[in-house]
């Protein structure tokens, strides 16, 4: 089945860029998502990318997709303390179930 992996923890200084990485196994995945979860809250959809794209930019967020290596990244420019949260990568499984498969999340800590 699909496996999605992320590093567990990332710490950056305020104002620096953050890069959160994700790898997945199912090459047929067509939609890949990034969700943000603040403490005690639900998941907030940040952005998504379709598999025929290499890059998508949305204000401070840049998503890069390397389909050959099955590698997805989320870059946050000018990281702020309010960006501290857990970031989940998720891929859409393209079988009859249309399930979202989540990674285990990367905890981003932004230091002042």
Partner 1 sequence: DAMVIQNPRYQVTQFGKPVTLSCSQTLNHNVMYWYQQKSSQAPKLLFHYYDKDFNNEADTPDNFQSRRPNTSFCFLDIRSPGLGDAAMYLCATSREAGASTDTQYFGPGTRLTVL
Chain contacts with partner 1 (rule: CB under 8 A): 4, 30-31, 33, 35, 40-45, 48, 50, 88, 92, 97-100, 102-105
Secondary structure in 3-state letters for 41-100: CCEEEEEEEECCCCEEEECCEEEEEECCCCEEEEEECCCCHHHCEEEEEEEECCCCCCCE
76 with 18: CB under 8 angstroms? yes
Q: Which is nearer to partner 1, 42 or 112 (CB)?
A: 42
Pick 16 or 50: Cβ nearer partner 1: 50
Task: State the nearest-atom distance from the C-beta of 104 to partner 1, in Å.
Answer: 5
Residue 25 DSSP label: S
Paired residues of 20 in beta bridges? 74
> Shortest distance, CB of residue 73 to partner 1, whole angstroms?
18
Minimum distance from residue 88 beta carbon to partner 1 (Å): 7
| Nearer CB in complex with partner 1: 45/109 | 45
Comparing CB distances to partner 1, the nearer of 18 and 106 is: 106
Contact 3, 70 (CB under 8 A): no
């Amino acid at each position: 089945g699909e496996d999605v992996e992320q590093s567990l923890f990332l710490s950056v200084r305020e104002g620096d860029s953050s890069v959160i990485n994700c790898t997945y196994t199912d090459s047929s995945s067509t939609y890949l998502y990034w969700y943000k979860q603040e403490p005690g809250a639900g998941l907030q959809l940040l952005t998504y990318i379709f598999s025929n794209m290499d890059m998508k930019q949305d204000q401070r967020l840049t998503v890069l997709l390397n389909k050959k290596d099955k590698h997805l990244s989320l870059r946050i420019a000018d990281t702020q303390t309010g960006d501290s949260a857990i970031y989940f990568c998720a891929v859409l499984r393209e079988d009859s179930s249309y399930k979202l498969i989540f990674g285990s999340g990367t905890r981003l800590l932004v230091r002042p």
